[in-house]
């Protein structure tokens, strides 16, 4: 029993250190294209306010990334037109970025055109497409599992203040929300 606990603790520590390894580092430069064929330079074009950026570089990771769309939309993007006294909205840039690297690069435009037809129009401004190499992002962002989406909370200067990865869970969403709230409160 002690051995199982020790192994679980070590796995948790390794997972925590991997997801927080890039905290404090600058988010690497990335040029990405919107579904409306405009280019966005991350983090340069999103400087000045907090941001949430989700990245995926495999088909399975993209499927998991889509599982984050609705909860992230509801938490960070949707603005209630008739807010009540207890409504709170975040003023953060929010982007989901499928990454087309290596052999997947030729599929870039085809997938983009398909998603234009299938993604809810409300989400379209928040989906960016990256086409290029992967190595610099793997190195800078500590990607360690190609089948996982990765999420980064950036401060107004483009520095990573929180990182997580994997399928959507309420716990992870709460951790992202807490990170955004605490970072904004520290200003």
Residue 8 has pLDDT above 50, yes or no: no
The pLDDT tens digits of the residues spanning 45-57 come to 999 999 999 999 9
20/161 Cα distance (integer angstroms): 9
Q: How far is CA 155 from CA 92, 160, 185, in A?
A: 10, 6, 12
How high is the pLDDT of residue 10?
33
**In the prediction, which pLDDT does 30 show?**
97
The DSSP-derived string for 72-135 is HIIIII---SS--TT------EEEEEEEEEGGGGGGHHHHHHHHHHHS-TTTGGGBEEEEE-SH
Label the pairing between strands 93-101 and 51-56.
parallel
Pick the closest to residue 58 from 107, 23, 21 (CA basis).
107
Asked whether the beta carbons of 60 and 147 are under 8 A apart, the reply is: yes
Q: Which of 159, 95, 102 is nearest to 129 (CA)?
A: 95
pLDDT surpassing 60 at residue 181: yes
Q: What is the mean pLDDT of the chain?
A: 84
The β-bridge relationship of strands 160-165 and 150-154 is antiparallel
Query: Could you report the per-residue pLDDT of 81-111, keeping only the tens digit for each?
Result: 777 676 677 889 999 999 999 888 888 888 8
Place of tokens 């927080």: 20
Region of poorest pLDDT, from 80-84, 128-132, 144-148, 168-172: 80-84
């Amino acid at each position: 029993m002690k051995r199982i606990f020790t192994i679980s603790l070590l796995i948790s520590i390794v997972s925590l250190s991997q997801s927080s390894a890039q905290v404090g580092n600058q988010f690497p430069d990335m040029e990405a294209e919107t579904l409306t064929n405009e280019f966005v330079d991350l983090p340069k074009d999103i400087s000045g306010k907090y941001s949430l950026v989700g990245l995926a570089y495999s088909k399975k990771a993209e499927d998991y990334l889509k599982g984050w769309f609705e909860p992230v939309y509801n938490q960070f993007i949707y603005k209630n037109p008739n807010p009540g006294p207890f409504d709170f909205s975040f003023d953060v840039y929010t982007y989901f970025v499928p990454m087309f690297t290596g052999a997947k690069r030729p599929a870039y435009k085809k997938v983009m055109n398909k998603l234009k037809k299938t993604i809810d129009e409300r989400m379209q401004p928040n989906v960016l497409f990256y086409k290029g190499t992967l190595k610099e992002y793997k190195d800078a962002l500590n990607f360690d599992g190609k089948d996982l989406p990765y999420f980064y909370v950036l401060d107004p200067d483009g520095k990573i203040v929180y990182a997580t990865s994997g399928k959507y869970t309420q716990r992870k969403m709460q951790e992202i929300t807490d990170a955004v709230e605490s970072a904004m409160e520290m200003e």
